[in-house]
Structure 1
Amino acid sequence: MNKKFFILILISMTLSLSGIIAVQTYFIKSNLDKNREEFALSISKVLTSVSDDIEKREYSEYVYKFNELINSGVNIDTTAINNLYFISENNGSNETIIYRNGIIEESLKLPSFLDINIDSINITRISNEREKNFFSLSDPEDIRQYTPEQLLLRIGEISRSKEILFETAYKDLAKRNPIHRRVSSDEIESLLNNALLDNKINLNYEFGIFDNELLTRVQSSNFDFYANEGQDKIFTTTLFKDNENNSDFKLSIYFPNLRNQLLSSSSLVSFDFEVVILSVIFTLIIVIVYVSTISQLLKQKKIAQIKSDFINNMTHEFKTPIATINLVLDSIKNPKIIGNKDKVIGYLNMIKDENNRMNDQVENVLRISRLDKNELDIEKTNLDLHNLINNAVGHLDLIMKNKNGKIELDLNSKYSFIKANQTHFTNAIINIIDNAIKYSDNNPIIKISTRNIDKILNEKDIILSISDNGRGMSKDVQRKIFYKFYREQSGNLHNVKGHGLGLAYVKKIVNYHKGEISVNSIVGKGSTFEIKIPVNNNNTI
């Protein structure tokens, strides 16, 4: 894949995904804000409804008690009653006119049906002249000039349609009562339960009434305003407004762990909320697919690069023996050579060696391919690992001498028999040692050792350790050396012969023998390969 085209695809996909996430985030945030606003509006309606119900209930009780009082007759202690009332209403001006005539000294004792801390309400009035009193039903200021007692007395004498007079008097008198006598916790809880259910809200809540910002005794059992402050939102409404439309009382409610309750409450999961959840899920799927796609693209790009390097390396590996064979054939054609039997035989041996070399390269490629497809038939027998190590070292003895290197053996394992294929396991050891030789600049020193480690149930493993004093590898190279076709490079692609299949083949063989291989390396100090493989039946040497 062209590098510029790959970068263009990567940028396009990233921008597209970023746009999708931005739109989805905006959509989700908008829906969550909408749900929060709708929930707050519903709670506000609930609190307003509860407040109105409480005030209506109290007002109805006052009206009922006062009507009973009027209908049954009040206890009036009168010294002289010569007062005649005449009431007329002016519909045009919305005024009521009360005419009084005579002298009256009266004392009215109204029983304390208002539930305040006095035995009775005393109303005394002395009149010795004719009075004409005007008051407007639509003017609150006109009403406020009378005392509550006067208004209560007047409302008993005039039409029931003028309830505003009674309501004004009732509010002034009712506020003398302490809050716990006007409403109870049980009443508020009952009203809240009904109102919340009417709005399809089934959540745990706590409530309390505040008087001038101080919590009163009217509260739910677990109400803790200060502990909850700053955590869950507090919803508040006024309670028992006076004639000035003001109130010292506030009914407050909050929902502990509101977010968790909203998520777990099926009754509050609206269609929009379900859409939000689905949107989050699909967005996560898109992100996962995006990451997976980018990962695959990068992996394929690396594989393509590795395969390209492999082809170049294989071409180089084949080119050398082919060139050698062509050179030898040209030499044999020389009349001076063709008549010399010994030289011809020597050249023919060179052709055979180069041919075998090419054949080995082809076999390596075919072998790793068949291992990948599990088509390679590997027969395993009981073998001594120490013997396999010695055989591998023997194959490389000449190469080590040419490099002025040496191999140090420390084979001390008591249990060294393993179940393995002699050819393939020997080749695996040879590949590791050959790799150590290739990546050692001068005088390679390779140390090979074995040791046993115990496993459970008296079973044992044998550890084969191969260390060198070569160039070493970085952490990044260590993660990749067992990949097919991978070869560490240092500038020139062909500075080390090979095609990157040696260690990949080693790992395949070790895994096939139910073993493990690992590497530990420090740049400039060398590398250590360790193969751990199960001991077969605890056979001893």
Structure 2
Amino acid sequence: MSLSLIGIILVQVYWFNTSFENNEEQFKFHVKQVLGNVAEKLQKQEAYSFYDRYNKLKDSTGKIPQKDDLLEFTYVQKNLKTNKTIVYSNSIIAEDFNISSSLFDKKTDSSKFKNFSSKRITEIYNNKPLDNSMLDQSLIPDERIEKSGSLDVLDNAQFEIFYKDIASAMPLEERVSIENIQSLIKRELEEYGVKINFEFGVYNSGAATKVASANFKYNPKNSYSIPILTDNEEHEQYKLMVSFPQKKRFLLSELVSITILSIIFTLIIIIAYSSALSQLIRQRQISEIKTDFINNMTHEFKTPIATINLALDAIRNPKIIDDKEKVLRYLAMIRDENKRMHAQVENVLRISKLEKKELEIEKESIPIEDVINDAIEHVSLILEDRNGTIKTHFNATRTSVLVNDNHFTNVIVNILENAVKYSPNPPEIDVYTENIKDMVLIKVQDKGLGMSKIAQKRIFEKFYREHTGDIHNVKGHGLGLAYVKKIVDDHNGQVYVESEKGKGSTFTIKLPLIN
């Protein structure tokens, strides 16, 4: 069970670490996609800005472009099996625009920008094998396809080269703004479902620039980077760095619900395991206690039975049977030993009946001091045999309580007998009463062996007896104080003990007064 429990906990820890790493990888993947989109949009926004200014300026010139370039190439494809020849020709015309450099706020010479258009012709000759020399002749093709129009690809390519050269010479603050970058990153993160605070900064060749958020601090563990605003040679002059100060908390928040459930179920298993283990230990302790109880009961019964047998044998002796005084003495011994065994059996039966709630306890209003005095009278013979003393200190002014006279007398007797039993020297016992609010307190204090902290917690358990070391004359079966607890609880009272090893014990009973 222990190995299984440890295995379950280790599997849970492994699962949590793996899930956290997977979440981190997924987060990293999303952030890279976000940064890629941001870099692309920054590049496009800069291009659109230049393109818009260029179109406005081109429209304002009102000049007709001059054609000064004619690029033409021809491609011939022959099929020897079918004698089919395909001739493809393409003429590219470049038209110049003289654009003033004021477009880019630069005091330099005029810049040239060209617009490209093309004329594309495809001719198909069937069953006419042609040589390269025959292409210049005026041959009529079997099929002719002609297309014309502007070449946006070439226009865009030239424009991109044109604006990147100019933009790379401009200060970074004129190309991008903090607000724009922040807006782009936030929008992209929201689209990927990553709702987390972030900070960013732009670095120029490894050095920080002024384009950064207020609280940006570079942290290799929580930061990601991507090149932005590359030039025509794809040089990575600028890098956008984005950091996530609360990255760990964000990743953990995604696991918090399933982790809490996992912890709860693991705790349930631990509690169940602990309970089972506790029950096993408890059962073993109970088995040991019951064995001790049987041994004690056997010993308790063995002595009076032996005494009775001896007394009976003595009475049967012809020399003794005629001696009336001796016969009466032996009969008294038999009666006392029989009472002793009967009292022990009654203790066991009383506990059993109390647990089954079969013992009827009728209560009446009695002054508690009368009950105490009655109990002291019961133990007076035992006390005299040990040369002990009992002193009473009745300080309570209100003493009327609702109790069962017989059972509560037995409660006090049991506590007093314990005080006598566990006092190696002649017992010195003090009994106190006092009032606290609507309660009366009864304290029985002795100067005997005392008990350990562990014993104080378990002293009212059935069958429990603390080992008394080298003192073997302390007999009993661990039922007296269990009986005390049951009776006091039935009277809506409380009983507890304060003790110190070697200095004695104080038993306190707290009972409600009758108003």
- 3-state SS of the aligned residue for 2:407? helix
Matched residues in 2 for 1:205 and 1:507: separation? Answer: 63
Q: Structure 1 residues 179-188 or 308-317, which shifts more? A: 179-188
Deviating above 4 A after TM superposition, structure 1's stretches of 4 or more consecutive aligned residues are 89-92, 106-109, 154-160, 258-264, 273-278, 491-494
Matched residues in 2 for 1:35 and 1:168: separation? Answer: 41
**Residue 85 to residue 75, structure 1, CA distance change in 2 (3 Å):** closer
1:53 pairs with 41, 45, 53, which one? Answer: 41
- Which residue of 2 is the match for residue 238 of structure 1? 227
Matched residues in 1 for 2:21 and 2:276: separation? Answer: 34
Structure 2 stretches lacking a partner, 5+ long: 76-91, 118-150
Matched residues in 1 for 2:222 and 2:425: separation? Answer: 76
- Which residue of 2 is the match for residue 478 of structure 1? 456
Displacement of 1:109: 5.9
Matched residues in 1 for 2:390 and 2:283: separation? Answer: 40
* Structure showing greater Rg: 2
Matched residues in 1 for 2:300 and 2:268: separation? Answer: 46
User: Match of 1:408, as an amino acid?
Assistant: K
Displacement of 1:263: 5.7
Displacement of 1:74: 8.0
Displacement of 1:91: 9.7
User: Match of 1:482, as an amino acid?
Assistant: F
Displacement of 1:254: 4.3
- Which residue of 2 is the match for residue 423 of structure 1? 406
2:417 pairs with 434, 437, 445, which one? Answer: 434
2:465 pairs with 487, 507, 516, which one? Answer: 487
Matched residues in 2 for 1:308 and 1:16: separation? Answer: 33
Structure 1 stretches lacking a partner, 5+ long: 1-12, 77-82, 93-97, 99-105, 124-148, 455-459
- Which residue of 1 is the match for residue 281 of structure 2? 298
2:376 pairs with 393, 414, 431, which one? Answer: 393
RMSD value, Cα: 3.4
User: Match of 2:441, as an amino acid?
Assistant: I
Matched residues in 2 for 1:53 and 1:241: separation? Answer: 13
Q: Is contact 1:208-1:215 (8 Å) kept?
A: no
- Which residue of 2 is the match for residue 161 of structure 1? 153
User: Match of 1:241, as an amino acid?
Assistant: T
Displacement of 1:45: 0.9
- Which residue of 1 is the match for residue 175 of structure 2? 182
- Which residue of 2 is the match for residue 7 of structure 1? none
Displacement of 1:463: 1.6
Residue 523 (structure 1) aligned with residue 514 (structure 2) = no
Number of residue pairs the alignment of both structures matches: 464
- Which residue of 2 is the match for residue 20 of structure 1? 8
- Which residue of 2 is the match for residue 206 of structure 1? 198
Residue 340 (structure 1) aligned with residue 330 (structure 2) = no
Measured against aligned partners, the alpha-carbon deviations of 1:331-356 in whole angstroms (never above 9, x if no partner) come to 22222223333323322222222121
Displacement of 1:436: 0.8
Displacement of 1:430: 0.9
User: Match of 1:225, as an amino acid?
Assistant: F
- Which residue of 2 is the match for residue 113 of structure 1? 103
Matched residues in 2 for 1:401 and 1:370: separation? Answer: 33
Alignment map for 1:39-438 (pairs within 5 Å) = 39-70=27-58, 72-73=60-61, 85-88=68-71, 110-114=100-104, 118=105, 120-123=107-110, 153=112, 155-156=114-115, 160-162=152-154, 163-201=156-194, 203-212=195-204, 213-214=207-208, 216-217=210-211, 219=213, 223-226=214-217, 233-255=222-244, 257-261=246-250, 278-438=261-421
Matched residues in 2 for 1:91 and 1:192: separation? Answer: 49
Q: Is contact 1:396-1:430 (8 Å) kept?
A: yes
Q: Is contact 1:466-1:529 (8 Å) kept?
A: yes
Displacement of 1:70: 4.2
Displacement of 1:384: 0.9
Matched residues in 1 for 2:9 and 2:47: separation? Answer: 56
Q: Is contact 1:70-1:156 (8 Å) kept?
A: no
- 3-state SS of the aligned residue for 1:224? coil
- Which residue of 2 is the match for residue 144 of structure 1? none
Q: Is contact 1:391-1:426 (8 Å) kept?
A: yes
Displacement of 1:236: 3.3
Q: Structure 1 residues 494-503 or 153-162, which shifts more? A: 153-162
Displacement of 1:121: 3.9
Q: Is contact 2:496-2:509 (8 Å) kept?
A: yes
- Which residue of 2 is the match for residue 129 of structure 1? none
Matched residues in 1 for 2:251 and 2:259: separation? Answer: 14
Displacement of 1:242: 2.8
Measured against aligned partners, the alpha-carbon deviations of 1:343-400 in whole angstroms (never above 9, x if no partner) come to 2332222222212111111111111122223322211111111111111111111211
Displacement of 1:467: 1.0
- 3-state SS of the aligned residue for 2:365? strand
Matched residues in 2 for 1:475 and 1:400: separation? Answer: 28
Q: Is contact 1:208-1:216 (8 Å) kept?
A: no
- Which residue of 1 is the match for residue 120 of structure 2? none
Displacement of 1:422: 1.0
- 3-state SS of the aligned residue for 1:113? helix
Q: Is contact 1:108-1:122 (8 Å) kept?
A: no
Matched residues in 2 for 1:520 and 1:229: separation? Answer: 61
Matched residues in 1 for 2:471 and 2:166: separation? Answer: 102
- 3-state SS of the aligned residue for 1:27? helix
Q: Structure 1 residues 338-347 or 435-444, which shifts more? A: 338-347
**Residue 218 to residue 175, structure 1, CA distance change in 2 (3 Å):** farther
- 3-state SS of the aligned residue for 1:497? coil
Matched residues in 1 for 2:297 and 2:248: separation? Answer: 64
Q: Is contact 2:177-2:211 (8 Å) kept?
A: no
Matched residues in 2 for 1:91 and 1:45: separation? Answer: 44
**Residue 168 to residue 520, structure 1, CA distance change in 2 (3 Å):** same
Displacement of 1:245: 3.2
Q: Is contact 1:318-1:358 (8 Å) kept?
A: yes
Normalising by structure 2, what TM-score?
0.80
Matched residues in 1 for 2:188 and 2:329: separation? Answer: 108
Q: Is contact 1:110-1:120 (8 Å) kept?
A: no
